[in-house]
Amino acid sequence: MASENKRVIIVTGASAGIGRATSVHLSEIFPSSSHPEQLVLILVGRRQEELQKTADLLRNGTISEIAAGDATNEEFVNSLEKTIKEKYGRLDLVFNNAGVNYKSEGGFEDQDMTLFRQVLDINIMGAVLFTKLAFNIMKDQSPQGGRIINNGSISATAPRPNNTSYTVSKHAITGLTRSTSLDGRKYNITCSQIDIGNASTDMASYVSAGSVQADGSIKKEPTMSVDNVAKTVGFIAGLGKEVDILSLEILASGMPFIGRG
């Protein structure tokens, strides 16, 4: 059952974009001289076929576990927790990456509250449930502890126009990160938040075509490859347990963030 010779990592939203790129990068850098354990990647997402495509890209003999399901469904998450405990007996890292965006074409008063709630449920509760899963496993394993990385956004600091649901959700992720960092101390669990700006994904494709600015103008914004985010997650994942990075911003060079508004 227990596998001290394995490094077990969960990536949510692993079917595309940042999640897929991160999964592939992790499979390229582990095992290593400082982390010789065989890597086990648990790929979480809604789309079975796309998760399999991610699994097919993994390197270095990485063991992949495909967990297709709804990250906001507590029964699904609890079942996955049980599977990890029984099969591997440990969990070293969770990358809470699953997320969606709903960008209203109108003002705040025109936003669809059903879609608004959906964003909050996926972006916040998905991360909450997988953080709970991590605590339940990491606090009882030997050696105790582990690492959680949350996919935040620069929207946690500076919102975009007509993007309230996403902004609210990412502010909540900041609260979750800080609370996790505090409450995880007694279990040697650290928590980091990566605030990402303009990574080139399907969800953020509109910014390169032209995004509404605070003054109402439309401006094409620079983007960066998702590989940069993947390498950042890999860097944090490779740090020793004595190191905690609370927050980190990574953004496309030249994007209108500093001074936004």
Tell me how far CA of residue 234 lies from CA of 18, 19, 24, 82, in angstroms: 12, 12, 10, 26
> Is 43 within a domain?
yes
Torsion angles phi and psi, residue 143, rounded to 5: -70, 150
Which pLDDT value is given to residue 216? 84
> Is 17 within a domain?
yes
Give the span between the Cα atoms of 199 and 197, in whole angstroms. 6
CB 115 within 8 A of CB 165: yes
pLDDT tens for each residue of 66-79 = 999 999 999 999 99
> Is 16 within a domain?
yes
Give the span between the Cα atoms of 112 and 149, in whole angstroms. 30
pLDDT at 2 over 80: no
Residue in 194, 196, 198, 245 with CA at minimum distance from that of residue 219: 198
pLDDT tens for each residue of 118-127 = 999 999 999 9
pLDDT, averaged across the chain: 93
pLDDT tens for each residue of 147-195 = 999 999 999 998 888 899 999 999 999 999 999 999 999 999 999 999 9
List the helix and strand counts (H, then E) for the chain: 8, 9
12 pLDDT band, cuts 50/70/90, is very high
> Which residue range(s) make up the domain with 171?
6-251
Which pLDDT value is given to residue 259? 67
The percent of residues above 90 in pLDDT, for the chain, comes to 80
CB 12 within 8 A of CB 96: yes
| Residue 20, number of CB atoms within 10 A of its CB | 25
Which pLDDT value is given to residue 3? 63
- Distance between start and end Cα atoms, the chain: 54
> Is 259 within a domain?
no
Which CATH number fits the domain that encloses residue 48?
3.40.50.720
CA atoms within 13 A on the CB side of 126: 29
Domain total of the chain: 1
Give the span between the Cα atoms of 235 and 85, in whole angstroms. 26
